[in-house]
Amino acid sequence: MRKEYDFKAAKRGAVLPSPGKTRITIMLDDDVLEAFRAKAEASGHGYQTLINDALRNAIDPEAAPVSLRALRSLLDERFALAA
């Protein structure tokens, strides 16, 4: 190990940039963060990915995947109209 290192050309931040991503600082309630972490652990995805997906769904609800509850509601409605 050297006694001194030259950091004149060094840059702060992530070693590898992530195209299309921006690093920010955000304050979340503890219970919200814990819920996303628990859901992430159960699903095998990262909690930040799940938060990103939830934000995307909030921006464009039409693009969100259909929940089982919504599908059942729609089918019940259609069957009621057909009867």
Banded pLDDT at 25 (limits 50, 70, 90)? very high
For 34-45, the pLDDT digits (tens) are 999 999 999 999
3-state secondary structure of 30: helix
Answer yes or no: pTM beyond 0.75: no
- Supply 50's token pair: 């799940």
pLDDT (0 to 100) of residue 68: 86
Domain positions in the chain are: 30-82
Is residue 74 pLDDT above 70, yes or no? Answer: yes
Task: With CA atoms as reference, report the closest residue to 65 among 54, 77, 76.
Answer: 54
